Amino acid sequence: MYLTTGVLDLTGLFDEVRSTDGAVCVFVGVVRGESGGRETVAIEYEAYGPMAESEMARIAESLSRERPDVRVRVLHRVGRLAVGDASVAVVATAPHRDEAFAACRAAIEGIKTTVPIWKKEIRPDGTGEWVDATQG
């Protein structure tokens, strides 16, 4: 399971991958209260659910295939999130910190590039705007 509508359980994720490997790198993305100088009060995340699940699985599996001693767990939240809520979490484990940092970074960059998830920033007046990551 790679998508959830509930609060991200960071402790649970950490427990899932915890090993005696030596290094665990955690990245958590959080809803920002500002975008391009404009206030954001919430973000609505939407996913092409089944495809987002399979793309995130593919990212995690390909990182483990490249480095068999690396394990990656990713989880993305969808629905309406408030400023400060965690939207995405990546937990990467490896024998040493270099590999753990690299896998964690590669996973979040992969998520942002290929996983079909979209976000609409909600302004204080209630209007919303789809974010186009390829603009600006």
Binding mask 42-61 for other proteins (x = CB under 8 A): ---xxxx-xxx-x-------
CA distance 95 to 63: 14
**Cβ partners under 8 Å of residue 43, min gap 6:** 31, 80, 81, 87, 119, 120, 121, 122
Residue 4's CB is within 10 A of a number of other CB atoms, namely 14
Q: Which is nearer to other proteins, 94 or 115 (CB)?
A: 115
CB atoms within 10 A of CB 1: 7
87 binds other proteins (CB under 8 A): yes
- Assess 125 for contact with other proteins (CB under 8 A): no
Nearer to other proteins, 71 or 77 (CB): 77
Report the nearest approach of other proteins to the CB of residue 113 (Å).
7
Q: Which residues bind other proteins (CB under 8 A)?
A: 29, 45-48, 50-52, 54, 76, 87-88, 108, 111-120, 130-135
